[in-house]
Amino acid sequence: MAFTDEGQHTMNVTILAIESSCDDTSAAIVRDGAVLSNCIANQEAHRQYGGVVPEVASRAHQANIIPVVDWALKKAGVAKEDINAVAFTRGPGLMGSLLVGTSFAKAFALSRNLPLMEVNHLQAHVLAHFAETPKPRFPFLCLTVSGGHTQIVWVRDFLDMEIIGETLDDAAGEAFDKAGKLLGLGYPAGPLIDKLAREGQPRFPFPEPAVPSLNFSFSGLKTSILYFLKKEVAANPLFIEENLHDICASIQTSIVTILLKKLRKAARQTGIREVAIAGGVSANSALRQAFEEMGQQEGWATYIPAFQYCTDNAGMIGVAGYYKYLAGEFCGQDVAPYAR
Ligand code: KG4
Ligand code: ZN
């Protein structure tokens, strides 16, 4: 193993990484921890159903996986013969979706006699920060906010992480998506609410949940939005249309406030000043801005992933796989995906 000036490991390993935990099929080529290509096939089919339909997702993964892998190889200028190891998302996620990526990764590794690394999707969201510079220094805190999870993670090392706070019910992305559903917006609503909120004012306050410790709760917010809209629409059937921007800004402000207050509490409790955000919701412009502002007030070094590394992508799986490769953490052909 060689070390560069930055004390980083280099081993000349080229990894093919696969991510298929939810509705996006993604493949990436990662060489020595650097992402050479990160290709994603989105599944538009779910929009019409207002959410991800597991059976539809799994079929689409089957159709997309080979073209996406070929695309990632081509974009990276790498031949199949140059791949030295394979990394894939083992879970958590939708079982039918995970099975497609897992089976592909296992078959690719078996046919070429390559080492195989199974990756935890949430660990990969955190390690997405190492796809770019500047990289956070250990130990750091990471607020991981996605469609399925909301966690504050104490990251001691690449593969040494502890969840010190998490949601007791809905995830932050789910809160965005469910609120969007109440407003008649398509799925996923998070990016749409972000866009609409830019021209709105957060003038409708929603009560903050009283959750102890570093945990979160978003189900109360969803209920208050529901009752608020019912009451206002009964008085004025055009209420949503007439106030859409302000409603979106209010919902977004509530979610961002809940998230950042707990993150600040975690940083003060632990004394850690290297702080990061990750996951699909970290693409939210209001969260990114408010997080930066809080970081300045609190004296943090803040880390925000580039958009391509916020939502689900195989690049982060390849980066996580690289650190597993360095640690010698491989799995056998008997590995099975896990949903939770
Ligand atoms: O990490 P991700 O791509 O998939 C999961 O692992 O869940 O996160 C998807 C979630 C969805 O709930 C989506 O609405 C939300 O991230 N999201 C956003 C934004 N972009 C994606 N939420 C708010 N604002 C955004 N700009
Ligand atoms: Zn994710």
User: Which ligand 1 atom is the nearest neighbour of the CA of 252?
Assistant: 23
Ligand approaching nearest to the C-alpha of 23: 1
pLDDT above 80 (res 5): no
| Distance from residue 311's CA to the centre of ligand 2 (Å) | 6
Domains of the chain: which residue ranges?
2-127+310-327, 136-304
Q: Which CATH superfamily is domain 2-127+310-327 in?
A: ATPase, nucleotide binding domain (3.30.420.40)
User: Which ligand 1 atom is the nearest neighbour of the CA of 189?
Assistant: 14
* Residue list, CB under 5 A from ion ligand 2: 146, 312
Average pLDDT over residues 272-276: 98
User: Which ligand 1 atom is the nearest neighbour of the CA of 121?
Assistant: 6
Q: State residue 3's pLDDT score.
A: 41
| Distance from residue 143's CA to the centre of ligand 2 (Å) | 13
Pocket test for ligand 1, best of 23, 281, 282 (most atoms within 8 A of CB): 281
**CA-closest residue to ligand 1 atom 23:** 190
CATH 3.30.420.40 applies to domain 136-304: yes
% of residues, the chain, pLDDT over 70: 97
Confidence at 139, pLDDT banded by 50, 70, 90: very high
Pocket test for ligand 1, best of 149, 311, 312, 317 (most atoms within 8 A of CB): 311
Average pLDDT over residues 106-127: 98
Question: What is the β-pairing status of strands 116-120 and 25-31?
Answer: unpaired
Question: What is the β-pairing status of strands 140-145 and 85-91?
Answer: unpaired
Confidence at 11, pLDDT banded by 50, 70, 90: low
- Domains 2-127+310-327 and 136-304 in one fold: yes
Average pLDDT over residues 24-31: 97
pLDDT above 50 (res 1): no
pLDDT above 80 (res 10): no
| Distance from residue 121's CA to the centre of ligand 2 (Å) | 6
Average pLDDT over residues 14-36: 96
| Distance from residue 148's CA to the centre of ligand 1 (Å) | 9
pTM: 0.93
Q: State residue 42's pLDDT score.
A: 85
Q: State residue 51's pLDDT score.
A: 79
| Distance from residue 280's CA to the centre of ligand 1 (Å) | 3
Question: What residue ranges line ligand 1, CB within 6 angstroms?
Answer: 22, 146-148, 173, 176-177, 188-191, 194, 279-281, 283-284, 311-312
Average pLDDT over residues 205-221: 94
